[in-house]
A and B are shown apart, each in its own frame.
Chain A
Amino acid sequence: MDLIKGLSQILGNNLITEREQKIPYMTDASYFQGDLPLAVALPDTTDQVAAVMKYCQDNSIPVVARGGGTALTGSSIPLKEMLVISLARFDRILEVHPEDRYAVVEPGVKLDNLNQHLSRYGFFYPPDPASSIAATVGGSISTNAGGLRASMYGTTKNWILGLEVVLPDGNIIHTGGKVLKRTAGYDLTALMVGAEGTLGIITKAIVKIWPVVESRGRILAYYDTIDKVGSSISEMKGMGITPLIAEFLDKITMHSLSETRGLTFPEDASYMLIVDIASTRESIGRELKEAEEVLRKFNPISTEITTDQAAMERIYEARKGAYSSLLSERSSMSERVVIGDIVVPASELPVALKESEEKVRKYNLTVALFGHISDGNIHANIYADIADKDHMNRVESFQHDFATIAIRHGGSVSAEHGVGLEKKDLLRMEFEETNNQYVMEIMKSIRKAFDPKGIMNRGKMFDQ
């Protein structure tokens, strides 16, 4: 109780201690259920975060930072008496400088809100995880989120210029800056991206912004086999066409979107490909036709070009909600959706996709496949009956084999969701399989240098 008193002195009313009020913080968008936290801090200034961190380090209180609570790996849920530090109140866009291509934002700003604001200037912030309506700047930096537009713009790490970070001892540091180039010693900004709150707490970010595309069109293509989907995108990229987005969905996913969003798909289609092309007003028609020609080489069931922005938006929104919509396809109330997230080089996709399907059959699981195919990023959404031990064992074995496919093809076990709780073992496996155990040791040393008492998101990513 003394710990609560101490926190209360720093935070006043910005501290939640009632049991019922703490319950929603035990959950994020993953299937993991956390423990009831010690308390929840809702600071509204960087100084308050710093004071809380110093207090926590002095008193060895483990902490977990929370953004939008959209993590898919359990990285933002509390374990064993942790203090949750919610950055939700850091929700201001502080500066926008189109001429210098940057904006200064607080970590609790939701990505869609940031982009709505930037649209007034004709600019946008490209990282676009499917959860962008709810995901925050801070959370997406901490997981190095990718998303749909990563096909053209890369992941979050490409768009962060500088950060304000509160370290575990309460010190406030500023990394990077407001310039597009900077070579000044180790890149601590890059180190913080994807660190999942294990090194410090981000309280401000300088993000790079970009002009919105002039014109955008979409090709929808439907196929009967998965290797055709992979081959068509691989061929397209080989020819020098970089789609703005390139997404694939399987039959289960299409069916769930019919059920929850009322979308319609050709009945004989097993796979759908959504390819967006960005170009100038003058060239968009020609470039869409060229891309469609490539897709048609692989015998699609049908293809269709649209530039109707409202229709495009409906499909885009549905695709972004696909993970949640999948729950409508489960066969029992105790089933959850466990989302896998591997990445392989795009040229390896046709084989990797085929192998993934074989593994689904091997373990007799129901798995919905979709993903950002242009990046070689496959999401295997496994229906996992958490009440059935045998079923959960098969889910785990599938996850293992699915990760092995990624490693064997020169990819990674985690493309864009981070590691959290879910991929701790897989991360270790990746380093072992690639003879890179020493990298893990370096990571541990770095973590210890920042957080000697091991209070930052303890138990996540890897064990100290």
Chain B
Amino acid sequence: MISELLEELESEVSKCISCGFCESVCPTLPAAGYDLWKGARGRVIMGRELLSSVQNHGSTNVSDSFYSCLDCHACLYVCPAGVNAGKVSHVSKSIIAGNGIEGNENPLARMMASVTMRYMNPLGIREKCSEWFHGMEADTNSSDLLYTGNMYQLMAYTQGMNHMREKMGKGMSLIMSRIISSLPWLIKLAPMRPDVSVSRKMGQSLSNIALLLRKSGISLNYLGKDEPYPGTFIYDLGYLDLFRQYAAKVAKILKESGARRIITVDPHTYDLLKNIYPKYVEGFDIEVVHYLDLIEGSSFKGGNENITYHEPCHFSLREDAYNKPLETLRSIAQVNLPPRSGRRTKCCGGPDELIFPELTQKISSSRYDELKETKSRKIVTACPICFSNLNKGPEVIEIGDYLVSKLKN
């Protein structure tokens, strides 16, 4: 496995001539004060350093370079040589996670992977993640499975986790992470409280998504407290062997539910199930769609309202860009896009929240300012992570909420 990863890394970094074009769009570079190893070109160079250290049995400390990568892939679309610094980071994290080099694994990453493996949820709170559905009924005979992947629900815990980490200090939180990695059940004892207003808000967004689907005549099954997290963290942090096992378990649960079509609600889960699961789970053949693909039966009030749409990386910066949110919004409003849009869209900074919250804070503030400069009355997001990070003013609204506000009757 490690040798294959090293080959993959070598193939990617050797394509790079170091022109630096990628640095111009990498959100983490300015957020890190232009410390080059936390920028796209720096990561390719550090990929070479990792490669050389592993091949020569040397030691190096390169982990921050790769763990700080947002995996947004903005670099790929400006690279004249087709180098993907995001891929370099992911493969490098996978080498680190596979013990390819000592002393580089981030304890927080290991903790998230361990807890998820045990509870099928990164915080061990699957039951809480189903609370938004109270009062609604799932159609267990339906072959359409609404799959939230717990993503909206987890947003309420982000701030709490960061507060806890700040209180403990960096050193102590790393020690705790190491302990929980070995004894994942300890996560249940952690005094993690959700931000009630965020929790309510995210629950409302999920209810609105369900409403849009029902209005479009879709009858939904939902797994409630049995719904597993899709394993995004495990994959993103490079635990590929664990991810293979985990994804197989999730796929089995989804299949056993009788689902023939999985309706995802966020870009990360959509991308993971549609593009990554088929590579890791043999025979994964359930159709994966996004809920916006299915709401054509709903009628919206059209208008000339000026809105700005922030495109999520996992929709716009993946090989097959998914543009349904933009098309839907354009059918009911005047949509403005910020200068960085389409294949140049800029990440909200969310994926760094776990390990580099200070980078997330800077990136999200800078992106929010860019969106504000378009001077629209509303800023619409289509991802719970983007929403949480960009929600710095009353004009920011989640796409499901926006569409429900425009429903006829």
B15-23, B120-128, B189-197, B390-398: which lies at the A interface?
B15-23
Say yes or no: B60 contacts A337, CB within 8 Å.
no
**Cβ contact within 8 Å between B37 and A21:** yes
Q: Of A29, A133, A318, A320, which is within 8 A of B18 by CB? A: A29
**B65 (CB) vs chain A CBs: closest residue:** A20
- State the CA gap A382–B127 with chains docked (Å): 63
CA distance A133 to B77 in the complex (A): 12
Known A-B contacts A20-B49, A321-B80, A327-B15; the reply to A88 vs B34 at CB < 8 A is: yes
**Does A258 interact with chain B (Cβ within 8 Å)?**
no
Q: Does chain A have a CB within 8 A of B61?
A: yes
- From A24, A108, A336, give the contact of B36 (CB < 8 A): A24
Q: How far apart sit A261 and B80, CA to CA, in the bound complex (Å)?
A: 7
User: Are A328 and B15 in contact, with the CB atoms below 8 A?
Assistant: yes
Give Cα A318 to B34, complex, Å. 27
Question: Does A341 count as interface, using CB distance less than 8 angstroms?
Answer: no
Find A327's partner among B17, B33, B42, B60 (CB 8 Å cutoff).
B17
Instruction: Tell which of B20, B34, B35, B61 touches A70, judged by Cβ atoms closer than 8 Å.
Output: B20
Q: How far is the CA of A42 from the CA of B78 in the complex (A)?
A: 26
- Asked if A68 lies at the interface with its beta carbon under 8 angstroms from chain B, I say yes
Central interface residue in A21, A24, A28, by most chain B CB within 10 Å: A24
**Set B62, B78, B80: member contacting A322, Cβ < 8 A:** B80
Interface centre among B42, B62, B78 (most CB of A within 10 A): B42
The answer for the CA separation of A89 and B36 in the assembled complex, in Å, is 12
CB neighbours (8 Å) of B49 from chain A are 20, 23
Decide: A328 near B37, CB < 8 A? Known: A20-B46, A23-B45, A131-B19: no
Q: With A20-B62, A133-B78, A324-B80 as given contacts, are A27 and B15 in contact (CB-CB < 8 Å)?
A: no
Q: 1/0 contact trace for B123-165 toward A, CB 8 Å?
A: 0000000000000000000000000000000000000000000
Question: A324 to B21, alpha carbons, bound, how many Å?
Answer: 10
A42-B35, A116-B339, A260-B82 given; A323·B45 CB < 8 A = no
The smallest C-beta distance from B121 to any residue of chain A, in angstroms, reads 34
A70 / chain B contacts, CB cutoff of 8 Å: 19-20
Task: Kindly identify which residue among B24, B30, B33, B42 contacts A133, using a CB–CB cutoff of 8 Å.
Answer: B24
Chain A min CB distance to B363 (Å): 15
Residue of B nearest to A134 (CB): B20
* Complex contact A23–B33 (CB within 8 A): no
How many Å from the CB of A113 to the closest CB on chain B?
Answer: 8
- Docked Cα-Cα span, A29 to B24, in Å, equals 14
A69 within 8 A of B: yes
A206 — which chain B residues lie within 8 A by C-beta?
A: none
Asked if residues A69 and B24 are in contact (CB atoms below 8 Å), the reply is: no
CB–CB A16/B80 < 8 A: no
Can you name the residue of chain A whose Cβ is closest to the Cβ of B10? A333
Of A25, A29, A88, the contact of B19 (CB 8 Å cutoff): A29
Contact of A324 among B33, B39, B81 (CB under 8 A): B81
**Contact flags B54-80 to A (C-beta < 8 A → 1, else 0):** 000000111001000000000000111
**Bound CA span A390–B15, Å:** 24
* Residue among A86, A131, A321, A323 making CB contact with B34, cutoff 8 Å: A86
What is the CA–CA distance of A116 and B341 in the complex, to the nearest angstrom?
14
Q: Is the CB of B80 within 8 A of A24?
A: no
Q: Which residues of A contact B45 (CB under 8 A)?
A: 23-24, 27
* Nearest neighbor of A90 in chain B, beta-carbon distance: B34
A4-31: CB near B (< 8 Å → 1, else 0) gives: 0000000000101010110111011100
The yes or no answer to A325 lying at the interface (CB within 8 A) is yes
Contacts of A379 in B (CB 8 A): none
Give Cα A134 to B24, complex, Å.
Answer: 5
Contacts of A355 in B (CB 8 A): none
Q: Does any Cβ of B come within 8 Å of A91's Cβ? A: yes
User: Which partner residue on chain A sits nearest B39 by CB separation?
Assistant: A24
B290 an interface residue at 8 Å Cβ cutoff? no
Contact of A89 with B33 in the complex, beta carbons under 8 Å:
yes
Instruction: Judge whether A228 is part of the interface by a CB distance below 8 angstroms.
Output: no
Chain B residues in 8 Å Cβ range of A133: 21, 24, 78
Q: For chain B residues 1-58, which have a beta carbon within 8 Å of chain A? A: 14-21, 23-24, 30, 33-37, 39, 41-42, 45-46, 49
With A20-B61, A327-B81, A328-B15 as contacts: A25 and B20 at CB distance below 8 Å: no
Residue A157 at the chain B interface, CB threshold 8 Å? no
Inter-chain contacts of A88 with B (CB < 8 A): 34
Residues of B within 8 A of A68 (CB): 20, 23
Q: Is A348 an interface residue (CB 8 A)?
A: no
Checking A24, A29, A323, A326 against B42 with a beta-carbon cut-off of 8 angstroms, the contacting residue is A24
**CA of A89 to CA of B31 in the docked complex: distance in angstroms?**
11
B 227-264 binary contact with A (CB < 8 Å = 1; else 0): 00000000000000000000000000000000000000
Chain A proximity mask over B156-192: 1 for CB below 8 Å, otherwise 0: 0000000000000000000000000000000000000
The winner among B20, B35, B60, B339 for most chain A CB atoms within 10 A is B20
**Nearest residue, chain B, Cβ from A31:** B17
From known contacts A24-B46, A42-B35, A333-B14, infer whether A112 and B30 are also in contact, taking CB-CB under 8 Å.
no
User: In the complex, how many angstroms separate the beta carbon of B267 from the nearest chain A beta carbon?
Assistant: 25
Pick the contact of A110: B15, B16, B24, B79 (CB < 8 A): B24
Q: Annotate B88-112 by CB proximity to A: 1 below 8 A, 0 otherwise.
A: 0000000000000000000000000
A89 CA to B45 CA, complexed, in Å: 21
Cα separation A110 to B82 with both chains bound (whole Å): 22
Q: Which residue of A has the minimal Cβ distance to B34?
A: A88
Cα distance A23–B50 when bound, in Å? 12
In the complex, the answer to whether A69 meets B41 with C-beta atoms within 8 Å is yes
Set of chain B residues within 8 Å of A69, measured between Cβ atoms: 18, 20, 23, 36, 41
Q: Which residues of B contact A336 (CB under 8 A)?
A: 17
CA distance A20 to B48 in the complex (A): 12
Complex: chain A residue closest to B61, CB-CB: A20
The answer to whether A27 touches B80, judged by C-beta atoms less than 8 angstroms apart, is no
Q: Tell me the complex Cα distance, A337–B82, Å.
A: 16
Using an 8 Å CB-CB cutoff, how does the interface string of A395-436 with B read, 1 for contact, 0 for none?
000000000000000000000000000000000000000000
**Distance A134 CA – B29 CA, assembled complex (angstroms):** 12
Interface residues of A in 126-163 (CB under 8 A from B): 131, 133-134
Closest to B25 in A: A133
Inter-subunit contact B24/A324 (CB<8 Å):
no
Report how far A68 CA is from B20 CA in the complex, Å. Answer: 7
CB–CB A21/B35 < 8 A: yes
Chain B positions within 8 Å of A27 at CB level: 18, 45
Q: Which residue of B lies closest to A334 (CB)?
A: B14
- Asked if A324 and B34 sit within 8 Å, CB to CB, the answer is no
Q: Is the CB of A324 within 8 A of B62?
A: no
Question: What residues on A are CB-neighbors of B60 within 8 Å?
Answer: 20
| Interface residue ranges, A against B (CB under 8 Å) | 14, 16, 18, 20-21, 23-25, 27-29, 42, 68-70, 86, 88-89, 91, 108, 110, 112-113, 116, 131, 133-134, 260-261, 318, 320-328, 333, 336-337
Some 17 contacts from A to B, beta carbons below 8 A apart, are: A20-B46, A20-B65, A28-B20, A29-B20, A42-B33, A42-B34, A68-B23, A86-B36, A113-B24, A260-B80, A260-B81, A260-B82, A320-B80, A321-B79, A323-B80, A324-B19, A333-B14
New A-B contacts (11) at CB < 8 Å, excluding given A20-B49, A27-B18, A110-B24: A20-B46, A23-B37, A24-B42, A28-B18, A70-B19, A86-B34, A88-B34, A113-B24, A133-B21, A321-B81, A328-B82
Which 8 A-B residue pairs are closest in the complex by CB-CB distance? A321-B80, A88-B34, A24-B36, A324-B80, A24-B42, A134-B20, A324-B19, A325-B80
